[in-house]
A and B are shown apart, each in its own frame.
Chain A
Amino acid sequence: QVHLLGSGPGLVKPSQTLSLTCTVSGDSISYYYWNWIRQPPGKGLEWIGYIYYDGNTKYNSALKSRVTISVDTSKNQFSLQLTSVTAADTAVYYCATAPYSGSYYFHFDYWGQGALVTVSS
């Protein structure tokens, strides 16, 4: 069983960079896709992107210009950076795993507890 724990600042100023880290325990960081997903207050879920343990990434095209996901296998952690944030980026940010099974079977099997990030001056 994989356990995910997200962490990072809960308040970010407009135009600054949002940074979150997800620490993985219970299994190696290898052989999964490591994802970030967000949920604005009272709204639905939006996939942000993923990284594979070898460093390959895929991002939501709507956010691609502002997103970087990185991985530190030595610490069993992966991280999210979202630049030039606005109030529209206020959301609960979840980290989640997806087994390495191809797009046809793609699903998120374990989720972190979520971290609320508010963008406000």
Chain B
Amino acid sequence: QSVLTQPPSASGTPGQRVTISCSGSSSNIGSNTVNWYRQLPGTAPRLLLYTNLQRPSGVPDRFSGSKSGTSASLAISGLQSEDEADYYCATWDDSLNGPVFGGGTKLTVL
């Protein structure tokens, strides 16, 4: 059971906009910034967004993030086939005194 809650799956067609939600509590998302990681099949996760909405160098602006209260979301616009991956949200949890992850969302491009 993950501390942060994500839908297990999401899907969209090429060109569409999809969003993935991440729900937490006052001790984690409510108190700290949220980060998103993308894990392509058979590879290590890579940082996709940090500090709620910042993109590391090389991440296209099709990826955006937002946070409100104890929830956050990742939006992917102009969906492409190569976006098929697992997406994880993460943040620090003040009660557990360490970083925590969501259970991951498997994105399928139809």
Contact = CB atoms under 8 A, between A and B. Distances in A.
Interface of A: 44-47, 49, 58-61, 94, 98, 103-114
Interface string B74-110: 0000000000000010111010111111111000000
A61 B96 contact: yes
A44 B99 CA distance: 14
Interface of B: 2, 31-33, 35, 37, 43-47, 50-51, 56, 88, 90-92, 94, 96-104
26 contacts: A44-B2, A44-B101, A44-B103, A44-B104, A45-B104, A46-B101, A58-B98, A60-B98, A61-B96, A94-B44, A103-B32, A103-B94, A104-B31, A104-B33, A105-B33, A105-B51, A106-B92, A106-B99, A107-B47, A107-B51, A108-B37, A108-B45, A109-B50, A113-B43, A113-B44, A114-B44
Contacts of A111: 44-46
Contacts of B88: 44-45
Contacts of A113: 43-44
A108 B103 contact: no
Contact of A45 (B47, B56, B101): B101
Contacts of B43: 113
Contacts of A106: 32, 91-92, 99
Given A49-B98, A105-B33, A111-B44, 14 more contacts: A44-B2, A44-B88, A44-B101, A45-B90, A47-B98, A94-B45, A104-B31, A106-B92, A107-B33, A107-B47, A108-B99, A111-B45, A111-B46, A113-B44
